[in-house]
Structure 1
Amino acid sequence: MKVLSPAEWRPLADAHAARVDEFLEPHLARRADQVRHPVHDFLFTYYSQRPAQLRRWHPGHGVALEDAGAYAGLKGYAAEEPVTVSDAYVVSQRPLVEQLHRLLTATAARPPQFGCFGLHEWAMVHRASDVDGGTRHDWPLRLGQDGTDAVVESHRITCSHFDAFRFFTPTARPLNTLQPGRDDRPAFEQPGCLHAGMDLYKHAFRLTPMVPSDLVADCFELARDIRVLDMRAAPYDLTDLGVEPVRIETTAGKAAYVEAQRGFAERGAPLRASLVAACEWLLAVAGERSVAQNS
């Protein structure tokens, strides 16, 4: 067990807060003014972690903090001094850790695919004028409804990510060459998928406070950057927000999208590996503690 004094851990906590505040402060200001942002709000509407939770620093299991009474009441922490994430909490999270380990290792073992061109967002608005509620965002379509429908219908749709596929319109779902389901993610997830890259953030914060916050912040920043590409390649006209489109309906746009997609896959690979290693360590800890409790 590594023990950190207040002089050691408080600067780390402050640095983490300052790092994420670069994104959080504009988001919170917009929220206070009731101004929606179709790109950046996603990280706090689709994902369940609240800004205050992201801002709070955690050292991860195996590190104890002196004079850290505020942590003693937080989920996962033991009340003893120095304060640390308890072994009992790690044991209780074993099913989650096993689930994430299966998904992450299966995804990492699969070769990345770069032929989707971000068409999942287009499939979510295919013939949306015929669907109750219309489009998912209150922004105009760059090519109009007919032009958007034509792009979807003239391309091969290959979405492998269930949490994107489930938002396809009824007319678009049969056009997808894959039919991923809620419970078979390890059979479909692949590391070239933008949403699989963004979901590294979700996996990291679900492992909080057992993993260190620098890993969570790394995954958050990757998700933040991927989301920008995701919406730049979407069918919406977001130029009023300063979001220039990647015109994936053109040859040049497809090439630009694939180049960026490859870059994100390369950024995501070491983060996924770190999460796999964290899961394996936590499973070892949980196994050792379970044996000790039963002996």
Structure 2
Amino acid sequence: MTEQLDPSRTVRRSPVLIPEALWRSREDRHHEIVDSLTTDHLQRRQRGTPHPVVDFLFTYYRTSVGTIRRWHPGPGVILENAHHEARTEWRHYRQASLHGRRGLMVDAESVVARSGPRIRRAREIVEATTTRAGATGCFGLHEWAMLYRTGADETRHDHVPLRIPRQVVDDVVESSRLRCTHFDAFRFFTEPAEPLNELRLTRAGQADHEQPACLHAGMDIYAHAALMEAGAPGELLLDALRAAFDAREVDMRSSPYDLSEWGLTPIPVETARGRTEFVAFQRRWISLTQALRSRLLLAMDRLAYESTPAHANAARPSVGSA
């Protein structure tokens, strides 16, 4: 039986059982992808060698490779025979059965009890972002605004040299229209740079300004999926992580920093050519991240629905509701 949650999303109330061989295959594939993305990062961390691009995804977003490596099917799915495995000790799982076949499934109520208000807030921001057209005129100048009128010993990325003089950084900021729409970038602007931005952004108004051309708004999809823990299907989490890796690289290549030591060439957004290259990436980014947002909203709806009693009203429940 299917029940309508809203005009564009349907979900099944009855769980689906995935045979053991099939879910193990999906889990193995998940491990392979995570390892391909993170092995270098883990080896650098063991050596104590920082990376100005990749480390951000695990430090700023406060996620760990070990957590990401855990594959989850999302709510409403029974993993056959998983109750015999270490997964029984993982957070947000419970035993379940279907037609006499036993296993584990995600305990949606447990996920919502732990993180419901934060998921609800993330959903508000993501849904608002999907309704807007992408604004491609920022040119990634947030990193420049974070350096505006700073001294020689003031940088956000220790031990990473600048590729251009500080005076040029200041000149670019002063001669450009700062159009940052992402609060978590704006809040790191230097004090003299803040009034140069078209918007005075606040945390409370975040949902009013996020837009899909913003690289950081798209990278946040990864953080939102990670916030859902076992409530997020592993495939969604990995697709969001892979996208975040790409965006973070472009983000830093368009900055004033010299990343040649890490084999990365600049996108010189202080020039017309560089701005054209940056905008071209943003246009692809809009299409990619809007698709990811749709998948994330669907996953959040499914989590909310599965966390309510079977007799609850068929209207879509609010994540984190009592």
TM superposition score normalised by structure 1: 0.93
- Alignment correspondent of 2:53: 39
- Alignment correspondent of 2:318: none
AA of the residue aligned to 2:58: F
- Rounded Cα–Cα distance in structure 2 between residues aligned with 1:45 and 1:87: 27
AA of the residue aligned to 1:121: E
- Alignment correspondent of 1:129: 151
CA contact (8 A) 2:119 2:227 kept: no
AA of the residue aligned to 1:110: R
Change (3 A) 1:290 1:208: farther
Q: Which runs of 5+ in 2 are unaligned?
A: 1-14, 97-101, 314-322
Q: Out of 74-83 and 193-202, give the one that drifted further.
A: 74-83
- Rounded Cα–Cα distance in structure 1 between residues aligned with 2:299 and 2:24: 23
- Alignment correspondent of 1:242: 263
Structure 1 residue matching 2:133: 3-state secondary structure = coil
The structure that is strand-richer by fraction is: 2
Q: Out of 278-287 and 66-75, give the one that drifted further.
A: 278-287
TM superposition score normalised by structure 2: 0.86
AA of the residue aligned to 1:168: F
AA of the residue aligned to 2:284: G
Select which of 177, 198, 201 maps to 1:156.
177
> Is 2:117 aligned against 1:99?
no
Change (3 A) 1:121 1:87: closer
- Rounded Cα–Cα distance in structure 2 between residues aligned with 1:170 and 1:210: 39
- Rounded Cα–Cα distance in structure 2 between residues aligned with 1:18 and 1:184: 39
- Alignment correspondent of 1:272: 293
CA contact (8 A) 1:117 1:254 kept: yes
Deviation at 1:157, TM superposition (A): 0.5
> Is 2:195 aligned against 1:181?
no
AA of the residue aligned to 1:78: R
- Alignment correspondent of 2:132: 110
CA contact (8 A) 1:141 1:235 kept: yes
- Rounded Cα–Cα distance in structure 2 between residues aligned with 1:286 and 1:88: 4
Q: What is the CA deviation profile of residues 235-275 of structure 1, one whole-angstrom value per residue up to 9, with x for unaligned ones?
A: 00111211100010011111111001111111111111111
Structure 1 residue matching 2:17: 3-state secondary structure = strand
- Rounded Cα–Cα distance in structure 1 between residues aligned with 2:203 and 2:24: 41
CA contact (8 A) 2:133 2:211 kept: yes
- Alignment correspondent of 1:49: 63
Deviation at 1:287, TM superposition (A): 4.0
CA contact (8 A) 1:110 1:190 kept: yes
- Rounded Cα–Cα distance in structure 2 between residues aligned with 1:187 and 1:270: 20
> Is 2:94 aligned against 1:74?
no
Select which of 23, 26, 51 maps to 2:40.
26
Q: What is the CA deviation profile of residues 42-93 of structure 1, one whole-angstrom value per residue up to 9, with x for unaligned ones?
A: 1111111100111111111111112323122212111555111114225524
Change (3 A) 1:257 1:89: same
Structure 2 residue matching 1:158: 3-state secondary structure = coil
Q: Which runs of 5+ in 1 are unaligned?
A: none
- Rounded Cα–Cα distance in structure 2 between residues aligned with 1:12 and 1:264: 27
Identity of aligned residues (%): 41
The structure that is helix-richer by fraction is: 1
Q: How many residues align?
A: 290
